[in-house]
Amino acid sequence: MDPAARRDSAGERARTPDRPSPTVRLAVHDGDERVRITVTDDGPGMPEWERAVIREGEETPLFDGTGVGLWTLDWLVTRLGGGMTIAENEGRGTTVTLVLPRH
């Protein structure tokens, strides 16, 4: 995926009418046994119910599909032997952290 497409994809989650150009930060820590990738935005944050849908791996009747990409990413990272966490930054954005084993 080219860098512009990655940036557009990451920024889409944080984009709102009152903040059309969110800031998205990407950090990679390359350890001996694991690689940690952290993506942080300064958008409106992700509600707890949406984080729960991703964590529990099942849709609710009210789920509108806005987190399907993260749900798929969590499934894939888990299949690879890693893990994913999603944390809200006190209403000022969301941080998604992926931890993957080095093979």
Domain 3-101: give its CATH code: 3.30.565.10
Predicted local distance difference test score (pLDDT) of residue 1: 44
Instruction: Give ∠ CA 88-83-64 in degrees, rounded to 5.
Output: 55
What pLDDT, in 10s, does the model give residues 52-87? 877 776 655 555 555 568 888 999 999 999 999 999
Residues 6 or more apart whose CB falls under 8 angstroms from that of 32 comprise 102
pLDDT value at 25 more than 70: yes
Question: Which run of H or E residues covers position 13?
Answer: helix 3-14
